[in-house]
Amino acid sequence: MYKEHFGLDQQPFGLTPNTAFFLNAQGHREAFNMLQVALADGEGFIKIVCFYPQIAFDILPPQNQLDVSIFVIDPKQDLDGIDFHFERGTTLGISKWRKLDPQTVPIEAKVAANYLNGMVARIEAKKRGFENAVMLDTQGFVAEGGTESVFLVRNDRLYTPFLGTILESITRKSILQAAKLNGIETSEDRLSPDFLFQADEIFLSNSPYKVIPVRQIENQKFAHAPGPITRKINDLMNKIVSGQEKRFNDWLFSVD
Burial of 256 (0-12, 13-18, 19+ CB in 10 A): exposed
Q: What pLDDT was estimated at residue 6?
A: 36
pTM above 0.85, yes or no: no
Angle of CA points 181, 206, 144, to nearest 5°: 95
Neighbour-count burial for 93-110, b at 16+ CB within 10 Å, e otherwise = bbbebbbbebeeebbbbb
Q: What pLDDT was estimated at residue 70?
A: 75
> What averages of pLDDT result for each successive group of 10 residues across the chain (256 residues)?
41 48 55 66 73 78 76 67 81 97 86 90 97 97 96 98 92 95 96 97 92 97 96 95 89 73
Please report how many Cα atoms fall inside a 13 Å half-sphere around the Cα of residue 199, on the Cβ side. Answer: 32
Burial of 193 (0-12, 13-18, 19+ CB in 10 A): middle
Q: What pLDDT was estimated at residue 22?
A: 46
Amino acid at 196: L
CATH class of 90-241: alpha beta
Task: Parse the chain into domains and list their residue ranges.
Answer: 4-79, 90-241
Closest to 229 (Cα-Cα) out of 194, 199, 256:
199
